[in-house]
Amino acid sequence: MLYQQEKAELPSKNDRLILFVGGYDPRGARHYHQMMQRESLKQGEVSQESYKVGSRHRWEPGLKEGLLHSQWTISNDRGKSSDYVFVDWSDLVRQSWASRIADVVWQGLKTYFLIFRNKNVLSPLLKVTPYAIWTLVYPLVCMLLCLALACIAITVSYKINPGWVGFANGILIGSIFLWAGYALDKKIHVSWLLRILNFSRKEAENSVHEVDDRFKRTAKIVARQIISGDYQELVVIGFSVGSAVAVSFARSIREEFILEGCPKQKINLLTLGNCIPLFSLMPGADRMRSNLFELAKDESSYWVDISSPSDSVSFGMCDLLALSFPKQDSKVLAGCVNPRHMCTPRFHKLFTPSAYRWMKRNKMRMHFQYLMASDLSGAYDYFKLLTCKESLPDFIEKRLVR
């Protein structure tokens, strides 16, 4: 399929407004826009579709409020054209992004101390998703292994050659082990997982006020757009860490609808590669849990999660409410309407066996697959989902609910 890019600087509004909330990633709208251009072209060739991605520009409604979000369009000749708003908080990520790996490790030790001190974090995970424990402790194991090898090297070298020479040789060999661990991190992204855990702790401590403020200001503008009839369908997409942020964002939009006298206005929420329990289980995350519980009860919101069990840094096909509220009465949770469905993208059906095996070894690549093209055509197609003719709930129920 031929790839085309729309030339209009400010394309006319479409029926569907998509608000994309990315993960804990210092890369901003430019990176994700280029990825959508590249991956939609690949997916079009696989699915025999003609996806078109428009040029990127500032989200005009937010400029007066100092919100520098970005917007572009994505369309399909056989589907709809959607306005896609990249709700940008990457600058806040960069501000909190520790530049030195030593700082990341130090913050990580504080995070693990909080986790292991509070049994309410680990007990639900062991009961519902024991495999997720490995994801949680994976960075800690890698850190301790590198430190242990360095200490062993110093000790052994000193015993073989007592004195300053042996000690210096041990320091040199230990430094090589630490450097090797740092180099390995560039491939297996241990520090990336550790940064996510550190952010979840800070968010639970309410120490990242700017994130909440920015999304509340954005919610106010979005609510006015929908109520004024600019769009017929509202879709909020939360990816990775953005899944937890999107839960609170959707709640803020609902609060604005209530203030504007439209409490039953429909909100569609789609979470991809969710890591919500990492946030909801943190001690002190009362605000997050409150927003999650309100969303779970909200009959005017349609929330679907699409996460793969093969994505080891997400909570695919898990009972998110049971995980997040381990002490809540099961009858109360059974009365909740959201999430409507827990779906799997079935990534193993979208790639050849050899390609899928490679992806499973690359945690970062597997985690980003929700936003990328596949090698084979299948039920999950991110770009078809964005441009489907029918409403998002109809599309989900027709293609992904089993």
Q: Which residue's entry shows tokens 């917007």?
A: 71
| Helices and strands (H and E) in the chain: how many | 18, 9
Q: Which two tokens stand for residue 64?
A: 């007066």
Instruction: For residue 4, give Cα distances in angstroms to 122, 197, 372, 374.
Output: 49, 39, 18, 20
The three-class DSSP label of residue 163 is coil
Q: Which residues contact 395 (CB under 8 A, 6 or more apart)?
A: 384, 385, 388
Q: What is the pLDDT of residue 136?
A: 77
Residue range 54-95, pLDDT digits in tens: 999 999 999 999 999 999 999 998 888 999 999 999 999 999
* The model's pTM: 0.90
Residue pair 87/68 in contact (Cβ under 8 Å)? The answer is no
Task: Return the percentage of the chain with pLDDT > 70, whole number.
Answer: 96
Listed as ranges, residues in the chain with pLDDT below 50 are 1-12
Q: What is the pLDDT of residue 70?
A: 98
Residue pair 298/337 in contact (Cβ under 8 Å)? The answer is yes
Residue range 135-169, pLDDT digits in tens: 778 888 888 899 899 999 999 998 998 888 888 99
Residue pair 297/337 in contact (Cβ under 8 Å)? The answer is yes
CA dihedral 136, 350, 186, 181 (to 10 degrees): 50
Q: Which two tokens stand for residue 74?
A: 């994505």
The three-class DSSP label of residue 40 is helix
Instruction: For residue 238, give Cα distances in angstroms to 87, 136, 296, 304, 328.
Output: 10, 21, 16, 11, 25
Widest Cα–Cα separation across the chain: 80
Q: What is the pLDDT of residue 207?
A: 61
* Of 89, 91, 74, 68, nearest in space to 18 by CA: 74
Run of H or E residues at 146: helix 130-160
Q: Which two tokens stand for residue 386?
A: 């964005």
* Of 271, 307, 265, 272, nearest in space to 292 by CA: 271
Q: What is the pLDDT of residue 305?
A: 98
